[in-house]
Amino acid sequence: MIIAAGIAVGVYRSDDMALAVVMTAAGAFSQVLSFFFFRNRAEERRMMLRVLADLRDDAEKSVRAARSLALIEQVQQPLLRDNLTAAVALELSGASADLKDIHDSMNLFSDGSAPDSPR
């Protein structure tokens, strides 16, 4: 738009000062515009790198979880297999996985001595 105005001024008015002002304004406008484009590009690049790092971490966690579950499936003792499966689930959810607490909880529910739920 500024460049079009410069062309119009150049056609209708052949004053060198007017052309210099229009060309300077066009140059300043393009510099400001390019600054904003480059700044946005840098922010988008940082965000993209952060997302890619998160995706890489998720892929590594997925591979580790698949390996863990494959190993757990090889365990012959059902109670130990259930305890390990619960520990992996807690670990993947971000909760702390204490095998003793898991084992005690599973024994509590498997004995049928779980406290009655409030009604």
pLDDT digits (tens, 9 = 90+) for 51-73: 999 999 999 988 988 898 898 88
CA distances from 105 to 17, 34, 114 (A): 86, 62, 9
Flag whether pLDDT at 119 surpasses 70: no
For residue 65, tell me if it sits in a domain: no
Residue 99: pLDDT band with limits 50, 70, 90:
low
Q: Contact at 8 Å (CB) between 114 and 108?
A: yes
Number of domains in the chain: 2
Closest listed residue to residue 2, CA positions, set 21, 12, 15: 21
pLDDT score recorded for residue 53: 95
Same domain, 45 and 82: no
- What is the C-alpha to C-alpha distance for residues 20 and 48, in angstroms, rounded to an integer? 41
For residue 4, tell me if it sits in a domain: yes
Same domain, 86 and 32: no
Same domain, 91 and 52: no
